[in-house]
Amino acid sequence: MKIDPIHILKDHDLKHTKQRVRVLEEIAMDSVAISQPELEKKLGKEIDRVTLYRILNAYEEKGILHKIMDMNGTANYAICSPSCSVDHHHDEHVHFNCTNCLKIYCLDVMIPKIKMPAGFTASTVNTTAYGICEKCSVLQSGN
């Protein structure tokens, strides 16, 4: 996914620091969600753990990233849709967690609006499908 980190940061009223730009660039490099530990490995000594944690939290709060929990309970992050904001994330799509390679994909499959019972207000709805991704299926079939 091609993104302009500086433009995104300006649009979300965040200063564009070298570290903030690097985190966005790294997350956008792949089509799968990425965990904080994976980001730490990829960024090496460029950004310490506490700074990375703060950046990820700020991005989630501002509607730049959305968090997806994997089957082990680890938070993974993916770029939000352009319509996300501080007030509301619009990421009501299905996530796919491959049980073989453990990668998490944001699928272009929308979750239908759920009618909540009286007195209930849902702030977030998520659906995760588990199984074998396309790449792992090809590897397992030997094609």
Q: Which residues pair with 67 in a beta bridge?
A: 77
Q: Report DSSP letters for 22-55, one per residue.
A: HHHHHHHTSSB-EEHHHHHHHHTTSS-HHHHHHH
Output the pTM of the full model. 0.82
- Mean pLDDT, residues 31-51: 92
**Taking 90 as the threshold, does the pLDDT of residue 37 lie above it?**
yes
**Taking 90 as the threshold, does the pLDDT of residue 139 lie above it?**
no
The amino acid at residue 55 is: I
**Which pLDDT belongs to residue 125?**
81
**Which pLDDT belongs to residue 82?**
58
Angle, alpha carbons 89-26-67 (nearest 5°)? 30
Q: Which residues pair with 76 in a beta bridge?
A: 35, 68
90-137 per-position pLDDT tens digit? 667 889 999 999 999 988 888 888 899 999 998 778 889 999 999 999
Closest CA to 53 of 37, 73, 66, 41: 37
* Per-residue confidence band for 44, with pLDDT thresholds at 50, 70 and 90: confident
**Taking 90 as the threshold, does the pLDDT of residue 86 lie above it?**
no
What's the CATH fold of domain 5-141? Arc Repressor Mutant, subunit A (1.10.10)
- Mean pLDDT, residues 36-49: 92
**Which pLDDT belongs to residue 122?**
85
CB neighbours (10 Å) of residue 3?
A: 14
Identify the three-state secondary structure at position 127. strand
- Mean pLDDT, residues 49-70: 92
